[in-house]
Amino acid sequence: MNLPTNPFVSNDGKKPTCMEMLQLILDGQDSQEQREYFKNHMDNCMPCFKGYHVDMTIKELLKSKCCGGEAPDELVAKIKSQIASTIS
């Protein structure tokens, strides 16, 4: 069985960690291809699944609590570090 090509692998062949992939997705810097790959990966990877959904939940929460405004950078950074420690 051939594994699908990982679109996250950089040109020098370095394989990214789950955290690096997750960060890219959450920052919205991913390509369509990467997003598809990550969705598949997430189904089999609990830390990624958790990290992704925790972040999405927080974003929804912030949206509803802050009347659609931007959350303070400080708060976002704090939440992100908490997620990082949860999934690492």
Nearer to Zn ion (CB atom), residue 45 or residue 62? 45
Largest Cα–Cα distance in the chain? 49
Cβ 50 to Zn ion, closest distance in Å? 10
Nearer to Zn ion (CB atom), residue 48 or residue 83? 48
Binding residue for Zn ion, selected from 8, 18, 23, 52, defined by CB under 5 A: 18
Residue 25 binding Zn ion, by CB under 5 A: no
The interface with Zn ion within residues 51-80 (CB under 5 A) comprises none
Site string for Zn ion, 29-48 (x = CB under 5 A): ----------------x--x
SS3 track for the chain: CCCCCCCCCCCCCCCCCHHHHHHHHHCCCCCHHHHHHHHHHHHCCHHHHHHHHHHHHHHHHHHHHCCCCCCCHHHHHHHHHHHHHHHC
